Amino acid sequence: MGGAVSAGEDNDELIDNLKEAQYIRTELVEQAFRAIDRADYYLEEFKDNAYKDLAWKHGNIHLSAPCIYSEVMEALDLQPGLSFLNLGSGTGYLSSMVGLILGPFGVNHGVELHSDVIEYAKQKLDFFIKTSDSFDKFEFCEPSFVTGNCLEISPDCTQYDRVYCGAGVQKEHEDYMKNLLKVGGILVMPLEEKLTKITRTGPSAWETKKILAVSFAPLIQPNHADSGKSRLVHLPPVAVRSLQDLARIAIRGTIKKIIHQETMSKNGNGLKNPPRFKRRRVRRRRMETIVFLDKEVFASRISNPSDDNNCEELEDERREEEETKPSELKPDPPVNFLREKVLSLPLPDPLKYYLLYYREK
């Protein structure tokens, strides 16, 4: 599934293509997609395909195509503070993007059938938290993953504001999925070969919208052959944040506001002159004409007399352009202003590192 948009050279170009094709339509979704590099969730030997609009599968590890994730994120209509349940959470790529939008007071849970994929997702989550500068641009709702079959969730589990299922749902399981939702909640899932959005408008009232045709592997049915008993999946409890954690969130938020105010003041209320680049020198190129005649190829070159006299000069100029172009157009490396500000505070080092979530950079 996928192939709806052109491949990108990097994550930003992929997002540009998804925006142009109207798969990404809102600013919150765009910010989340740009903040997390899709390639980080690929195995090293497959990263060349990370920015193609294609699904990827290796063993039990699976990623849907970017156009599918875009439609899912838009359909979920995510807002800060909501609760989210990801059924078939896989690599954690989608759950991490959702966590950037939910913020520190949301709930972000995932259920995954394969324990090896859970370990892979935890590694990728740890890598994102420790190394990505995007982590400091948001207040993150860290996902929690549990192993089990999503068709065996304990009936006493809490209901969620938003639910996504990443495998094909049979009609017989539609009501089971709906009952995971709070009133006013949104469920997105592949149902009968259509990506479907279901909104719970009342205790027994629903609105259904078909988004697009899709092809997903079906949900794996529970297997009770070994014990004959159902293995109930118990979702993580909704944890109450400690006072210490709430203080960290508040301090980081205050520092971000100060940084924003300082930036606005320096740039004159945000009006900033666009960066100026040195204009490339334009030089005349010799034109070559190729003539096909009776399966023979004749090539002629049209040039000014001065061209032939200055071939060496032109070659030197070309080399000079190639040497200077990267330095002229290369943007400044991004600066993590929050980290710099925290490290400059007159605080004990342990407190600074706590405010930075003990991140490596």
Q: pLDDT digits over 15-64, tens only?
A: 999 999 999 999 999 999 999 999 999 999 999 999 999 999 999 999 99
Higher-confidence residue of 221 and 3: namely 221
Q: What's the CA gap between 138 and 252, in Å, rounded?
A: 10
pLDDT of residue 287: 39
pLDDT of residue 253: 93
Query: Token pair of 77, please?
Result: 């209509």
Query: Token pair of 175, please?
Result: 């009501």
- Options 6, 64, 230, 242, the catalytic residue: 64
Q: Is the pLDDT of residue 266 over 80?
A: yes
Q: What is the CA radius of gyration of the chain?
A: 26
Q: What's the CA gap between 298 and 28, in Å, rounded?
A: 57
Q: In 3D, which of 114, 40, 52, 136 has the Cα closest to residue 336? A: 136
Query: Token pair of 87, please?
Result: 């059924």
Q: Are 1 and 216 in contact (CB under 8 A)?
A: yes
Give the ranges where 187-274 is alpha helix by DSSP (H).
243-266
Q: What is the DSSP string of 248-315?
A: HHHHHHHHHHHHHHHHHHHTTTT--PPP--PPPPP----EEEEEEETTEEEEEEE--HHHHHTHHHHH
pLDDT of residue 247: 95
Q: What is the DSSP string of 170-208?
A: PGGGHHHHHTTEEEEEEEEEEETTEEEEEEEEETTEEEE
Kindly report the CA angle at 34 between 30 and 35, in degrees rounded to 5?
115
CB atoms within 10 A of CB 247: 13
Query: Token pair of 36, please?
Result: 């997390």
- Over the stretch 141-175, which tens digit does the pLDDT of each residue have? 999 999 999 999 999 899 999 999 999 999 999 99
pLDDT of residue 322: 59
pLDDT of residue 240: 87
Q: Are 62 and 93 in contact (CB under 8 A)?
A: no
Under the banding of pLDDT at 50, 70 and 90, the label for residue 353 is very high
Q: How many residues does the chain have?
A: 361
Higher-confidence residue of 185 and 294: namely 185
| Catalytic (active site) residue 306 | no
Kindly report the CA angle at 159 between 155 and 161, in degrees rounded to 5?
155
pLDDT of residue 359: 83
